[in-house]
Amino acid sequence: MKFTFRGVRGSIPSPGPRTARYGGNTTCIEVRTDNDSLIILDAGSGIFSLAQQLPPGEPVDAHVFITHSHWDHIHGLPMFSPLFVAGNRMRLHGAFDAISGRGIEHVMAVQLQGSYFPVSEAAMAASIEYRTLAPGEAVEVGGARVRGAEMNHPVVNLGYRIDCGGVALFFSGDHEPFYNLHPPGHAEHMACAARNAQRQAGIDALVAGVDALIMDCSYTREEYPGKQGWGHGTFDAAFDLALRCGARRLYCTHHEPTRSDEQLEAVFADVMGRYSSRLNGLQVFLAYEGLTVELAGA
């Protein structure tokens, strides 16, 4: 199994000279199973560049797993050119949306309203299928097994583990470390703590022993207090999760869109310096567009 980062930026595309080395496209990861089946994790603007890399003229059969419905994880879908070609097939997987009361099909329907986009789904020539997933539900794709865990975000966000050929990766989508919504002594404090612990245990179980952990590292520990509740993670929280769960490699992504390449490298160097003595063999990388990682089984 191998994967390629097609978009590594959070919130809004930020292309330009300041982000040229790491990339300005929003979240999209291309995964190839051992038999070359195509899995796509999220459909930010990076899915457009993914489409440009596909062999011209060959049919496309893609399983797209959406972590959640915020714009930067879905706004590339209408511009995914294989959708306009007859004979292609896209299967879109994702969580039920409690706000709209609809399944994963709503991420296409809302964007393809005439007010926002000139082409209707009916005019797209490819076959488009939808599968709404519950946390923990398994999907088999080309010899790989995909399972999701509910992360911590203002809307339902599924983090996905993919197992294939004796190796595994986990992608968080957007995730904020759990914190108690109620102060000590509040009637709901203990119940909230118990729910948080239960949900964290579910995440840890899926992350355990992965060869590659791909995490939302939007903020530094200094920035986070002013952004609590926004649904995003820190470098420190990602390092701690990787070490606790025995991940072999950590890939930091969902880069803050206002950070230049130099600023991103500076904050990464700071956290690496603080954790260098306790990495215990963990390899850590800043994700960048075009980075391909091959995970080889034993």
For 93-105, the pLDDT digits (tens) are 999 988 888 899 9
pLDDT tens per residue across span 216-261: 999 999 999 999 999 999 999 999 999 999 999 999 999 999 999 9
Residue 292 sits at φ, ψ, to 5 deg, of: -110, 135
Q: pLDDT value at position 52?
A: 95
Percent share of the chain, pLDDT over 90: 93
Residue whose structure tokens are 């968080």? 172
Whether the predicted pLDDT of 196 surpasses 80: yes
Q: pLDDT value at position 298?
A: 59
For residue 62, what are the CA distances in angstroms to 9, 51, 124, 262?
A: 22, 11, 15, 35
Query: Across the chain, what does the average pLDDT equal?
Result: 96
Distance CA 196, CA 42 (A): 25
Average pLDDT over residues 187-215: 95
Closest of 219, 274, 208 to residue 242, by C-alpha = 208
Average pLDDT over residues 10-14: 97
Closest of 124, 36, 25, 38 to residue 82, by C-alpha = 124
Residue 44 contacts residue 25 (beta carbons within 8 Å): yes
Whether the predicted pLDDT of 15 surpasses 80: yes
Q: What is the CA radius of gyration of the chain?
A: 19
Closest of 87, 35, 49 to residue 291, by C-alpha = 49
- SS3 sequence of the chain: CEEEEEECECCCCCCCHHHCCCCCCECEEEEECCCCCEEEECCCCHHHHHHHHCCCCCCCEEEEECCCCCHHHCCCHHHCHHHHCCCCEEEEEEECECCCCECCCHHHHCCCCCCCCCCCHHHCCCEEEEEEECCCCEEEECCEEEEEEECCCCCCCEEEEEEECCEEEEECCCCCCCCCCCCCCCCCHHHHHHHHHHHHHHHHHHHCCCCEEEEECCECCCCHHHHCCCCCCEHHHHHHHHHHHCCCEEEEECECCCCCHHHHHHHHHHHHHHHHHHCCCCEEEECCCCCEEECCCC
Distance CA 232, CA 229 (A): 8
Distance CA 256, CA 11 (A): 8
Closest of 198, 167, 192, 164 to residue 179, by C-alpha = 192
Residue 23 contacts residue 6 (beta carbons within 8 Å): no
Q: pLDDT value at position 98?
A: 82
Q: pLDDT value at position 180?
A: 87
pLDDT tens per residue across span 46-90: 999 999 999 988 999 999 999 999 999 999 999 999 999 999 999
**pLDDT tier for residue 200 given thresholds of 50, 70 and 90:** very high
Q: pLDDT value at position 296?
A: 87
Residue 45 contacts residue 86 (beta carbons within 8 Å): no
Whether the predicted pLDDT of 177 surpasses 80: yes
Rounded to 5°, the CA angle 44-165-278 comes to 75
Average pLDDT over residues 267-285: 97
CATH 3.60.15.10 assigned to 2-294? yes
Least confident stretch, 10-19, 95-104, 122-131, 227-236: 95-104
